[in-house]
Amino acid sequence: MILTGIGLSALLLHRNLIRKVMGLQVAVSALCLFMTAHCRAAGLVLPEGLLMTALASSCALTAIALALTLRLYRHYGVLDVDKLQSVIKGHEHEPEQEQDNDLKHEDEMAELWNEILQLRHERELEAERERELELQLMQEREHEHELELELDSLRSWQEGDYREGELTHDERDSITLTFEEREENRKSDSESEERA
């Protein structure tokens, strides 16, 4: 019980965050020791479930507490609670001045937050634009691929690989003849019709 008292007083009264965490561990471990000793002395069944849970949860809490302490230290550079307060709010202010500082601090925070949101928004827009460009690029590649295929088929036809009967006369003409040749053919056809 004395150990538990020491642990709890360290948790509540010490100014150093690491010592507070140590106090928590000491308090919980002391309670587990007390229970084990008391159950043995009184002939009670040891509540293993309770003790194991207490130990496991105190470990989890210690891990979280240390992680948060580390984050605080990285952010403010101090571990002492009093110094932390003074770093955040400055030394003793008059109430009105303190309120003004709070408002200024809030305005600064809000501006920063708005900037962060703006940057996030811009980043999202940029990502969207990138996605659109990628899509456009893919479409262009597909088109290019289709053109390549067409070109290949033309080349193969020119080389005489095509098989007779697969293309109609007009289709073959549309692929092979140039514009002028097609115009000439059209003219000669119309003349022959007129003659007829």
Partner 1 sequence: MSGMFRSLNDLLAEIPLLSILLPLFMSAIVSVPWNKNGDRDQRGADLWTCITVIVLLLLSLILLPTLLYGERGVHSISCSGGELQAGPLEVLFALTFSIVMLLVLLGNMRSMHEDVQAPRHAPYQGVILLLFSGLMAMVYTNNLLTAWIAIEVVLIAACALTAAKGGGDAARAAVRLLVMSAAGSSLILLSICLLYSMTGALSFPEIKIALTRLLATKQNGLQILIALNLIVIGLAIKSALFPFSSWLPEAHGSTTNASSAMLSGLVTKGHIILILKVLFRVLDPDVIKFLRIDQELLLLGLLSMIAGSLYALRQTNIKRMIAWSSVAQVGYIFLGIGMNTEAAVAGACLHIIVHATVKPMLVTAAGGLIDVSGHRKSFRALKGSFYRNRWAGLGLVAGACSMMGVPSFAGFASKLSLTLAALDSPAIIQALAALTLSSVLNALYYVPAMIVILTPNEGGEHISHSIDGMYQWVMAIFLALTFFLGLYCVPVLSVIEIGLKAL
Q: Site residues (CB under 8 A) for partner 1?
A: 4, 7-8, 11-12, 17, 20, 24, 27-28, 31, 34-35, 38-39, 42, 44-45, 47, 49-50, 53-54, 57, 60-61, 64-65, 68-69, 71-72, 75-76, 84, 88, 99, 102-103, 106-107, 110, 113-114, 117, 120
**Which amino acid would we find at residue 166?**
E
**In whole angstroms, how close is the CB of 28 to partner 1 at the nearest point?**
7
Task: Give the torsion through C-alpha atoms of 80, 86, 89, 90, to 10 deg.
Answer: -160
**In whole angstroms, how close is the CB of 129 to partner 1 at the nearest point?**
17
What residues contact residue 65 under an 8 Å CB cut-off, 6+ apart? 17, 20, 21, 24
Q: Which is nearer to partner 1, 38 or 145 (CB)?
A: 38
Q: Which is nearer to partner 1, 109 or 149 (CB)?
A: 109
Which stretches of 35-130 are assigned E, i.e. beta strand? none
Distances (CA, A) of 62 to 24, 43, 65, 97: 8, 32, 5, 38
Q: How far apart are CA 56 and CA 153, in angstroms?
A: 73
**In whole angstroms, how close is the CB of 56 to partner 1 at the nearest point?**
9
CB atoms within 10 A of CB 64: 11
**In whole angstroms, how close is the CB of 153 to partner 1 at the nearest point?**
39
Q: Which is nearer to partner 1, 70 or 154 (CB)?
A: 70
